[in-house]
Chain A
């Protein structure tokens, strides 16, 4: 007759001012690093920020941030633990590093379950690390969180950008808010992505050069914030962030 979980999702998210999905057309473009770093940068500005990893089959934000062995607290739902100043939620608390193969209907169920039982605090931003592409998770979130804004990550590759154009096409058709497109892992100056993004009437947020120092900083939030990647991301998304 009715799925009671769907009834409380709005209420669970009502303590959050802005929900920003970090998404891409395909994997491997640095979406999870952008989501993690953006969360840290916002938190370092004194904002209350949450990070939700919805890339269930290939979660990575816990490795990027180095979350240790924290677990959510159970209190009329689950309360995400605080990690480096962020309220952090991921399926990883319940799966560890075990492979978790999920079909589309399982992904939908797990998303609905997480959204319905997670009790976020008062947050200015919830950053959501999305799985790549136009699969069930993207469709579910479009349905469940209509107010969600989208920040799209691509690389300079024409292949990556072509998949991003499909995603943009879907979001535009559904009249969703697209904050802009971020070009990651740039190795040389190119106007291809900027030109096409601007021609579509969207914000080109900037280009983040490939940072060979990033790999060494993974798992260490302080080291991450010192990387060239962090500096570039900070400049690129400055216009999206409050003063």
Chain B
């Protein structure tokens, strides 16, 4: 499962931040997943739970889904990415490397492949909350 690789990154980032901030205990971790990458939320949460290090033992894990919005660089049209109707192979390709969307998607207004992902691309660690000292 590809989600495991992403979860591994999240856990590594949380551990580093906790150490840098002198946290004894992490109480809450918020992860944002962009719709473009179509990360399986349940698998990601399961993987995060399985991989959680001792410092994250009791941490609440929040996963927020962010809609993917694309904007054409040629005509300025913006639209929401809709995975429905994509062939399974295409959907899977975008899941692994979201940038390959440029091989398959076109601006619905002018047909250009020159678009940008304004938001909702992939996975992001949004916040880490925790307690310093013995708290």
What is the interface of chain A, defined by CB distance below 8 A to chain B?
1-8, 11, 56, 74-78, 91, 93-96, 98-103, 105-107, 109-110, 113-114, 116-117, 119
Q: 21 A–B contact pairs at CB < 8 A? A: A2-B124, A4-B9, A5-B9, A7-B13, A7-B16, A56-B99, A75-B1, A91-B100, A94-B94, A95-B93, A99-B103, A100-B103, A102-B99, A103-B114, A105-B116, A106-B99, A109-B98, A109-B121, A113-B99, A116-B9, A117-B2
Query: B4 to A77, Cβ gap below 8 A?
Result: yes
B17 at the interface (CB under 8 A from A): yes
Give bound CA distance, A74 to B103, whole Å.
Answer: 22
Q: Given the complex of chains A and B, what is the CA–CA distance between A95 and B116 in angstroms? A: 18
Say whether, besides A1-B124, A78-B2, A95-B103, A7 and B12 are in contact (CB < 8 Å).
yes
The answer to whether B5 touches A7, judged by C-beta atoms less than 8 angstroms apart, is: no
Q: Is the CB of A8 within 8 A of B5?
A: yes
Assuming the A-B contacts A102-B99, A102-B102, A113-B122, are A119 and B128 also in contact, with contact meaning beta carbons closer than 8 angstroms in the complex? no
The DSSP consensus for interface residues of chain B is: helix
B49 at the interface (CB under 8 A from A): no
The answer to whether B81 has its CB under 8 Å from any CB of chain A is no
Interface string of B84-102 (1 = CB under 8 A from A): 0000000001101111101
A94 to B122 alpha-carbon distance, docked (Å): 17
When distances are taken between beta carbons in the complex, the residues of chain B under 8 Å from A101 are 102, 113-114
Q: For B55, list chain A residues within 8 Å (CB).
A: none
Find out whether the CB atom of B124 lies under 8 angstroms from the CB atom of A3: yes
- The interface size bin for chain B is 35 or more
Name the residue on A nearest B51 (C-beta): A76
Min CB distance, B61 to chain A, in Å? 13
**For A11, what are the chain B residues with a Cβ–Cβ distance below 8 Å?**
8, 12
Known contacts A2-B125, A4-B124: A103-B116 contact under CB 8 Å: yes
Min Cβ gap A144→B in Å is 14
Q: B103 to A110, Cβ gap below 8 A?
A: no
User: Which residues of chain B come closer than 8 Å to A56, judged between CB atoms?
Assistant: 99
Expressed in whole angstroms, the Cα–Cα distance for A5 and B123 within the complex equals: 8
Q: Nearest Cβ in chain B — how far from A15, in angstroms? A: 14
**B66 contacts A by Cβ under 8 Å:** no
Nearest Cβ distance between residue A214 and chain B, in whole angstroms? 29
Q: Which 4 pairs from chain A and chain B are nearest by CB? A: A4-B9, A77-B5, A7-B12, A94-B93
B10 proximal to A (CB < 8 A):
yes
B102 pairs with A100, CB closer than 8 A: yes
In the bound complex, how far is the Cα of B96 from the Cα of A6, in angstroms?
16
Please indicate the chain A residues that have their CB under 8 angstroms from the CB of B122 in the complex. Answer: 5, 109, 113
Asked whether B1 lies within 8 Å of A4 as measured between CB atoms, the reply is: no
- Least CB distance, B28 to chain A, in whole angstroms: 13
In the complex, chain B residues whose CB is within 8 Å of the CB of A113:
96-99, 122
Tell me, yes or no, whether B46 is within 8 Å of chain A by CB. Answer: no
Name the residue on A nearest B3 (C-beta).
A76
Q: Which of B2, B6, B102, B104 contacts A74 (CB 8 A)?
A: B2
Q: Which residues of B contact A93 (CB under 8 A)?
A: 93
Indicate whether B109 reaches chain A with its CB closer than 8 angstroms. Answer: no
Docked pose: A3 CA to B32 CA in angstroms: 10
